[in-house]
């Protein structure tokens, strides 16, 4: 999978060198490129924002700069993800859908967001015909300083679903039982008793069918089912 992210703070993406995602890049499963939006400005001040038409507080990111940055990244079947608190809420289902994409482009807005024409422009028929899809996505109902952290969250949730990224793919199979909410049960490891607290007896029984039943009962109860 190819991933591009456009941002005015490329350093935010340093954690992508770590852990499983770092390894997946070394193994060639993932190719991640971070682009500095300011390199696509054409004025001496490298300005990326301007005051909003109609007035109001804050600044809006300029469509021209975003257009220059995004044009060269667009290829057939690209998925353009515009991070905004006004977008559709990201969840496991969307992660699974996006894990099937061959190319994700994350547009990380700051300030009051990106000029609305950018999303509209790449949503036009001529792009849709090439399989290019635009989505506005939020990672939750709260306002972040910008889309960078949101992009990191999405990249982690999506890329761990790619074949070869996670050491033990069995953990993905268990997660795939999730339809709504998360099917998770409590986990325990040694010692059997810690500070007077014992591990549930059934987990020591060796009866795998009974353990599976107990786990799914607990998980369903937790999920409110
Ligand atoms: N930018 C600011 N807040 C955001 C959020 N909650 N999700 C995605 N992008 C954002």
Phi, psi of 17 (to 5 degrees): -80, -10
Alpha-carbon gap, residue 87 to 94, rounded angstroms? 13
State the distance from the centre of ligand 1 to the C-alpha of 65, rounded, in angstroms. Answer: 20
Q: Which residues line ligand 1 (CB under 6 A)?
A: 83-85, 138-140, 142-144, 146-147, 150
Q: In a 3-state reduction of DSSP, which class is residue 145?
A: coil
State the distance from the centre of ligand 1 to the C-alpha of 85, rounded, in angstroms. Answer: 4
- Closest ligand 1 atom to 137 CA: 8
Alpha-carbon gap, residue 6 to 151, rounded angstroms? 10
Q: What tokens appear for 26 in the block?
A: 């070394």
Q: What tokens appear for 27 in the block?
A: 């193994």
Given ligand 1 and candidates 91, 114, 138, which is best to mutate, with the most ligand atoms within 8 Å of its CB? 138
Rg of the chain's alpha carbons, rounded to an integer? 22
Is the per-residue pLDDT at 176 higher than 70? no
Confidence of residue 174 (pLDDT cuts 50, 70, 90): low
Mean pLDDT along residues 91-106: 98
**Listed residue (9, 215, 206, 225) closest to 106, CA to CA:** 9
- Write down the pLDDT at residue 221: 87
Percent of the chain with pLDDT over 90: 88
Is the per-residue pLDDT at 182 higher than 80? no
Alpha-carbon gap, residue 59 to 188, rounded angstroms? 50
Given ligand 1 and candidates 9, 61, 147, 154, which is best to mutate, with the most ligand atoms within 8 Å of its CB? 147
Mean pLDDT along residues 177-199: 85
pTM score, two decimals?
0.92
- Write down the pLDDT at residue 59: 97
């Amino acid at each position: 999978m190819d991933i591009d992210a456009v941002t005015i703070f490329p350093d935010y993406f340093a954690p992508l060198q770590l852990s499983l995602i770092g390894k997946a890049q070394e193994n060639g499963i993932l190719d991640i490129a971070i682009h500095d939006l300011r390199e696509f400005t054409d004025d001496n001040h490298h300005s990326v924002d301007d005051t909003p038409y109609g007035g109001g507080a804050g600044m809006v990111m300029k469509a021209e700069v975003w257009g220059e940055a995004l044009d060269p990244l667009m290829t057939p079947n690209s998925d353009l993800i515009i991070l905004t608190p006004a977008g559709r809420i990201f969840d496991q289902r969307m992660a699974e859908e996006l894990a099937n994409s061959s190319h994700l482009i994350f547009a990380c807005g700051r300030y009051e967001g990106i000029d609305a024409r950018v999303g509209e422009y790449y949503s036009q028929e001529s792009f849709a015909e090439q399989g290019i899809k635009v989505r506005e996505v939020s990672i939750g109902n709260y306002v972040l300083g910008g889309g960078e952290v949101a992009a990191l969250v999405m990249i982690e949730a999506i890329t761990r679903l790619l074949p070869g990224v996670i050491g033990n793919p069995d953990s993905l199979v268990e997660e795939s039982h999730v339809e709504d909410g998360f099917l998770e049960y409590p986990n325990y490891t040694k010692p059997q008793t810690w500070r007077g607290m014992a591990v549930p007896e059934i987990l020591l029984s060796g009866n795998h069918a009974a353990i599976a039943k107990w786990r799914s009962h607990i998980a369903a109860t937790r999920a409110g089912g």
